[in-house]
Amino acid sequence: MSAAIALWWRLPIFLIVGVAAGISNGLAGGGTFLTFPTMIGLGLPALEANVSSTVGVIPSYLGVLRGFRHRIESHADLIKTLVIPSVLGSFAGCALLLLGSPATFRAVVPYLIGIATLVFAASPWITKRLAHLDHHHGVRRRGLLFGIFVAATYGGYFGAGVGIVLLAVLAVSLPFDIHELQGLRSVLALVITTSASIVFLIRGHLAWDAVGATAAGTLLGGWLGAMLMRRLSPLVVRTLVVTTGLATTVRLFLAN
């Protein structure tokens, strides 16, 4: 496919892929791995596709939050605490993308996703080993704040897979069930992508037709994904997250 494809063909493609990406984000994350290559395939330059995809998937988290609002209302204080490292990390990632050389950071991205996936898979065992430490304990608290900052930095630079990284950090730091973790992950992913989007809006590089159609699709898809995820057992959800993470890791290694 090429950039010469007529707009009236491009828009429905972006819309359909947006719905699929929203469902993916609602279930396990990784929706940007659908929108980003689609934009590349339809002729957008890599930087433009990256930032347009980041902005376009924001509504997917709104759809997810609607489905999990009752699960996260009791964690308002925790969310307020994690907003600061989320915003700062997102801005740091944007700076790496727009001002620095991406080669080094891209080289470590597959390792970051792979490690995050393994940590998430092992999180029940890790949590059990850390059970003697209250989740308000200084070590776990500092680890949570630093982990969120690292995840946000990754998300500001290359948002694909940020949900998996966030889930890994949250799963080993907090004694919550998978549905609560998914709700918190969606809130923080929304903060991270919105912060990055503000920078991208100021700097430009956005393909507005791709952003608009993708955003409409991800809003619907996020709601559908959250509705489906609430009906799945925790084991199935964990399996989906780990499978998505492993597939993402392999894809990134092959891309490098």
Chain segment 123-169, per-residue pLDDT in tens: 667 656 655 455 555 667 888 999 999 999 988 987 777 887 888 88
Percent of the chain with pLDDT over 70: 84
- Find which of 81-90, 219-228, 233-242 is predicted with most confidence, using mean pLDDT: 81-90
Looking at the whole model, is its pTM more than 0.85?
no
The amino acid sitting at 222 is G
String of DSSP letters for 179-245:
HHHHHHHHHHHHHHHHHHHHHHHHH----HHHHHHHHHHHHHHHHHHHHHHTTS-HHHHHHHHHHHH
Check: CB of residue 241 under 8 Å from CB of residue 39.
Answer: no
pLDDT reported for residue 28: 66
More confident of the two residues 73 and 200: 200
Chain segment 2-48, per-residue pLDDT in tens: 444 556 788 899 999 999 888 887 776 678 878 887 887 788 887 78
Burial class (CB in 10 A: 0-12, 13-18, 19+), 9: exposed
pLDDT reported for residue 1: 41
Give which of 147, 113, 96, 118 is closest to 256, Cα–Cα: 113
Check: CB of residue 30 under 8 Å from CB of residue 244.
Answer: yes
**Cβ neighbours of residue 30 under 8 Å, at least 6 residues apart?**
24, 160, 161, 163, 164, 244, 245, 247, 248
Helix (H, G, I), strand (E, B) or coil at 237: helix
pLDDT reported for residue 231: 79
